Amino acid sequence: VSTQSTGFARTQNGDKNSPQVIARHIYAALTFSPEESAELDWLVSERSRTQSMPRSHSDVGLKLRGTTEWAPPRAQIICHLHPPTTRKKLMERCGYRCAGCGMKIAQSLASIFRYCAYLGKYFCHSCHHEQAAFIPARILHKWDFRKQKVSNFAAELLGKMWSEPLYSIQDINSSLYRSVSELKFTRALRYQLYFLNEYLRACKNGKDLLGSVTIRGHIYNDPELFSLEDLCSVKDRVMIEALRPIVTSWLQHVDNCGLCRGKGFICELCERKEVIYPFQLTTVFQCQMCWTCFHKTCFTGTCPKCARIRSRRTLSQEDPAPQEHLTND
């Protein structure tokens, strides 16, 4: 105890080799007045910094993303193909900075940066670990499922979007339906489920059948929307094999259910009295204005029901209802 007390006293009395005394000397040597600190040549200049602090208290409430030269990547749904270009042009465009962290390098070191096939930008080794992923734009425009190397940010983003129905092929590239038979057949099955779903939802005996399916709702609620997972399952024909038995089961219900058959249509353009339905995609045409169904071979381009509706509207406008005459008692 006495030894420890003696050492503590020696430190308090100012031992030249004690850590406390050395720290005081260092602090005194590095302490500058405001005038002196303003004249210092800082190691990293204000211009070279990737992030700038607000210059005044009025700027504290602003939400800044990077600087005028660089901003961190943001979550994007990219459906277009990046135009071919050179590494030099892309690096010049981003000021020889990493698109992920903003680190700036000399032009001679540009070759060490790695290209992200999803964002179309270059990243440093810390922000790009060469993870491979499916590129949505290559699938939607070229039906190309070869994995490409992407940045860490893009890999995480694509993982989050994997099961989300974000891509409408009809709006992005409708020609893909003509060139890919599996996609065309899958679309037909989904449209059948779309129309059958309307019948089963209105049928008290069909709600249990709807509850027994395990497919996600967008498959039969919006036939044009696909996720990355859906597109991969279409390529492998997994979705086709999963939808076929469901379509067969729902068709059998409609054929055997009196309530569902009562919601069918009779083609008024021919003599046949068979009941037709909108989910008979190969033989039936449905008017997009009044939703009446006709045989495709009977329909000539003019819907008779719409024509009757227009004529009734015209007559109602030409012959207004007569006004009642008031009589004085």
- pLDDT 10s digits, 99-135: 998 898 898 888 999 999 999 999 999 999 999 999 9
Give the mean pLDDT of 172-190.
94
At 239, the amino acid letter reads M
More confident residue, 5 or 31: 31
Predicted pLDDT at 328: 47
- pLDDT 10s digits, 125-164: 999 999 999 999 999 999 999 999 999 999 999 999 999 9
What's 84's DSSP letter?
P
* CB neighbour list of residue 190: distance below 8 Å, 6 or more residues apart: 219, 220, 223, 243
Backbone dihedral angles phi then psi of residue 121, each to the nearest 5 degrees: -135, 170
Predicted pLDDT at 50: 46
In DSSP terms, which residues pair with 122 in a beta bridge?
115
| Residues 266-283 as b or e (16 or more Cβ within 10 Å = b) | ebeeeeeeeebbbbbbee
Q: Which residue has the tokens 């892309």?
A: 90
Percent of the chain with pLDDT strictly greater than 90: 42
- pLDDT 10s digits, 216-258: 889 999 999 999 999 999 999 999 999 999 999 999 998 888 8
Please say whether the dihedral angle defined by the alpha carbons of residues 6, 8, 13 and 17, taken in this order, is positive or negative: positive
Give the pLDDT band (50/70/90) at residue 27. low
* Mean pLDDT computed over every residue of the chain: 81
